[in-house]
Structure 1
Amino acid sequence: MFVKLITLIALFFYKEQWEILYIRARRKYSKNLDGNKRMFPYLLIETLIIAEDKRFYKHYGFDPIAIVRALQRIIFYKKLEGASTITQQLVRTLLNDKEITIKRKVREIFLSVLLEVKLSKTIISELYLYEAYFGWKMNGIQEACLRKNYNIWDLNLEQSIALIARLKYPEPRFLSDEQEKKINQRESYLIRQLKTWKESNHG
C-alpha cells in the first residue's frame, strides 16, 4: 500500500522526469544487460552493496534508517554524511542531476521507488556499475576494468575491492600520495566490512 501510494504521487508530480529516466534506463539495459541474468561476479555486486547500500535488498529505493542517521550527524556533529541508496545514485546519474537541494533529493526518492517497481534489484545494481564514475577514463565498470587491466567477467576479491573503493575516491589521471592513501584506506575498510558481513550472515 505504501509503495503504491508513493508511485502514484511520483507519477503525478514527476511524470516528465520519470519518462526520461525510464527511457534512459531501458535503453542502457537493452544495450548492456542480458535479461535478468547476472552479468558480473556476485563478489563484485556484494562488495558494491556493502560499500554503498547495506540494506539494498531490504528497502524500496530509499533507506529511511540511513536518512535519519545522516540527519543526526548533521544536527549533532555538523558532519555531512551520504544517505543515498544505489537506486538513488542511479537515478541521479541517469538524469545527470547534480543540483544540491532538498527539492532534488525528494524528487530522487520518489523516482527511486518508481524505478524499483519497474526494474529488479539485479538490473539496478548492474546498471549502476555500467554508469558509475571510477576515475579518469573510467566512466563505467567496463572502462574501469580496461584501465586497470582486469577481466570484467572474472574479477577476484582484491580487484572487486579496488574497483568499488574508487566509487568513493575516483582515481585521477595522476595519483598523488594522499589520494593513493585514501584509496588504500577505503580498500582496507571494505575488506573489514566484507569479513563482518560474511560472519554475520554465515556465522
Structure 2
Amino acid sequence: MGTAGSVEFKAKASGKQKRSLFQRLLHWFRIAVLVFVGSSVAVVLLYRFVPPPATPLMLLRLGNQLEEGKKFRLEKNWKPLEKISPYMAASVIISEDQEFFEHHGFDFDAIRSAFKRNQTHKRIVGASTITQQTAKNLFLWPARSWLRKGLEVYFTILLEVFWSKHRILEVYLNIIETGDGVYGVDAAARRYFHSNARALNAEQSAMIAAILPKPRSWAPPNATLRVYHRQAWVLRQMGNFVGRPELR
C-alpha cells in the first residue's frame, strides 16, 4: 500500500512539474510576443516621422562588400515626396503596383493571377505591392522563407494602419535598391543622370523604375534590351498616372 501510494504521489508530482514547466514557457512566450508587438509598433510609429537611417539590406550589402574586399559604397540621399519628380512616383506605381492607392496593402487579384501563372511557368513571378516591398526592405532580410513572408504580412498591415499612402510611397522611393550600393531615387538620379530626384524627366524616371527587379545587374550602363522594353512600357502609361494629385 505504501509503495503504491508513493508511486501515485510521484506521478502526481511529475504531472504538476510538467504543467508548471508548460505554464512558465507559455508565460514567457506571451511576454516575448508582447515585447515584439510593442517594439515593432513603436518602430513603425517612429519611422512615420523620422527618415530610416539604414535598412537590413543596406547592412547586408556592406557585409558582402567587406567579404569580397571591395570598397564600401552606400549612396543614399533622403528626399521628401514633394521634392521627387511626379514622373518618378508615377513610374514606380506603373511598374510595381498600379492599384497602390486603391488596395489596403495586398492586391489579391494580382496574387491570384501570379499563382495561376506560376503553376505553368518555370520563372516565378511575385505580386508584392509597394507597401509589401517597403515592409520587406525596411524591416526584413531578402532571403525567401515562410517566416519572412509571415513577418512581411505583419509589417505590411502595420504600415497600412499607421502610415498614409503618401508616407509609404515616400519611404519606398528613398530606400529601394537602385544599383550596386545605390539606394533611393535621388542617389540613382545623381549616379546615372548627374541630376537629382526633383529634376528627373519621364524617360529617366521610367528607366529607374525599369531596373528595379534587378538593379545591380540592369542599372545603366548595363541596361539590356529587356530594360528598354520595360522603360517604353512605363512611358506608354505615364499619362494615366502622372497627373494624379496623390503624387504631388
Task: Report matched runs for 1:10-159 at 5 Å.
Answer: 15=37, 16-24=39-47, 26-28=49-51, 32=78, 38-148=82-192, 149-159=194-204
Compare 22-31 and 73-82 and name the one that shifted more: 22-31
Q: Residue 131 of structure 1 contacts residue 139 of structure 1 at CA under 8 Å; is this kept in 2?
A: yes
Q: Residue 79 of structure 2 contacts residue 174 of structure 2 at CA under 8 Å; is this kept in 1?
A: no
Residue-pair matches, total:
184
Q: Alpha-carbon deviation of 1:19?
A: 3.8
Distance in 1 (CA, whole Å) between partners of 2:198 and 2:123 is 38
Distance in 2 (CA, whole Å) between partners of 1:190 and 1:129 is 17
Distance in 1 (CA, whole Å) between partners of 2:200 and 2:42 is 35
Distance in 2 (CA, whole Å) between partners of 1:77 and 1:103 is 25
Q: Secondary structure at the match of 2:155?
A: helix
Distance in 1 (CA, whole Å) between partners of 2:137 and 2:41 is 13
Match of 2:207 in 1: 162
Percent of paired sites with the same residue? 28
The code of the aligned residue for 2:50 comes to: R
Larger Rg: 2
Structure 2 runs not aligned, ≥5 long:
1-32, 54-76
Which TM-score applies when normalising by structure 1? 0.76
Which TM-score applies when normalising by structure 2? 0.64
Distance in 2 (CA, whole Å) between partners of 1:133 and 1:29 is 14
Two-structure CA RMSD over aligned residues (Å): 3.0
Q: Secondary structure at the match of 1:28?
A: coil
Q: Secondary structure at the match of 2:178?
A: strand
Structure 1 runs not aligned, ≥5 long:
1-10
Q: Secondary structure at the match of 2:224?
A: helix
